Structure 1
Amino acid sequence: MICKKCGREYEDDMPKCLWCDAPNESLSSQDGDDASTADSEAQEEAYRESLKKLVDPELERAFDDNVRRGKSAISWTKFQIVLNILFFFVGVKTLGVIIEYYKNYTAASPAVSSEASTASAIILIYSAFIAIPCFVFIGKNWLWVYHAHKEQSKFTETFFAPWGAVICYYIPVVNYFVFKALLENQGNTLKLLGIKAKTESNKLLTWFFIFNIATPIFNYLTFKSLNTPILFISTILWIILTVLGIKLIKAATANEQAVHDQLENNRINKKVEEIIAQREAV
């Protein structure tokens, strides 16, 4: 080590110059870095400890409300499954008649048969019947995923903004990443709060991803050919995909419930401590 003050050489590990007692700047900077690292680690540890005792009634209510939204979304999703199964049977009975009519249609004889008219009317009436439940189902899921990402962003950095999650929620394949990011961030939050996280199996997300690819393909084939076997396969795939989605919502909602319970316990414990402190003061 060359001393910057006197220009003489001394050992690198010595705290100061042998000749002029000037401090060894390289060792000083290392000590400063070590102290800075220790301070940052201490601050991070203190932050984690403060989170474990976090009391925020507003945030507690927000998580409780979204747990209710998640349960409501699941209920409406199950109802939508029933409607789609009924739609399959309605389609089997009516689409064949409509297809047969269009196959035999000619400009010379444009008259619509009574069977084709009845089949078309049934399709239209049933579509109108399921329209409102379908919109409610979509809205309930959107509302839940929006607030799920919104509340989660208060603890950890999220890849999807709340409105981004809403936009991507019904886009095939992309919604896989919406769920994946949400569950991963929720797991990190549970760890920060000192809650034992129930890790969701990657197999569930993997199957959700696979059916996210297969279902749109068969939906396209169904609309293209209106073939009953393909319609049946498409319906089965959609049901499986939706059931997997329900399981993912349940997993995310369970995490939200765990955070709510922790915040509730913290609030109660703080209240108890305040009461004890007041009694001891008297």
Structure 2
Amino acid sequence: MADVAPVVTSALLTVQGLRVFLPSRTAGSSQTECLGSLVVDGLSFQLGAGQVLGLVGESGSGKTMTALTLIDLLPSSARVEGTILFQGPQGTVDWLRLDPRQRRRYRGSQIAMIFQEPSTALNPLYTCGQQLRETLRTHTSLPPAEIHARAIRLFEEVQLSPHLLERYPHQLSGGQIQRAAIACAIASNPKLLIADEPTTALDVTVQAEILRLLRDLQQQRQMAILFITHDLNLVAELADQVVVMCRGQAVEQGAVSQIFCQPQHPYTRGLLACRPPLERRLRR
């Protein structure tokens, strides 16, 4: 396949009319339906360079399916329609028109992802250092000595001691594993970091530390973050813009201050109403 001609756009990421179908089987039949289940329905948004966009909604709203589409990790039987424009080194390309080989040039180097469950994010058979160095070998042309030095600097950047590079994932705490996964994600200095519920499996104290780390890394590296969560409080701390999803659709989007102070859609108002007031005390 020939290289796709760049498309001119000012945003780092532009999603227009995204629809994602997953295969489904009719009850009592072994035949898979052609279209299947519609899990993302007409989603559109833009994300500028250096901005943080919060993608919010309850479980099953289509947040993770959107992320997997952007990182090209959907099952091969999935069907995707719409337009995804990403501003790469050679200009803005239409992501869905690239073949798998071309997408691999961007995945990991230009677009990286942090997954929800820290304990399954890394391979248990290899040390954290082996996995980080493999990431650097794949996405850079650095010599071995520089790769080792870069791995040390990356661990220090995510506030991990370099001696943990030779530890296996099961020898680290949940927060340490998530930091190691973040180090792998930012190793090649991506323009876009997708964080899919990165603090859900962590306790409240560690959750705050990881959020602070993501905010610091975003500001230092000026990378854009697509932050996926069901927790509006986390969005208020980290994001600039918000997209509220319900049943695969974006029901409302705008600046954080606008969504929190003047929500327009009943679903958004319902999500905000679910947050317990800080002054309320639980009955014993």
TM-score of the aligned structures, taking structure 2 as reference length: 0.25
Q: Higher strand fraction: Structure 1 or Structure 2?
A: 2
Compute the TM-score of the two structures, normalised by the length of structure 1: 0.25
Q: Larger radius of gyration, structure 1 or 2?
A: 1
More helix by share: 1
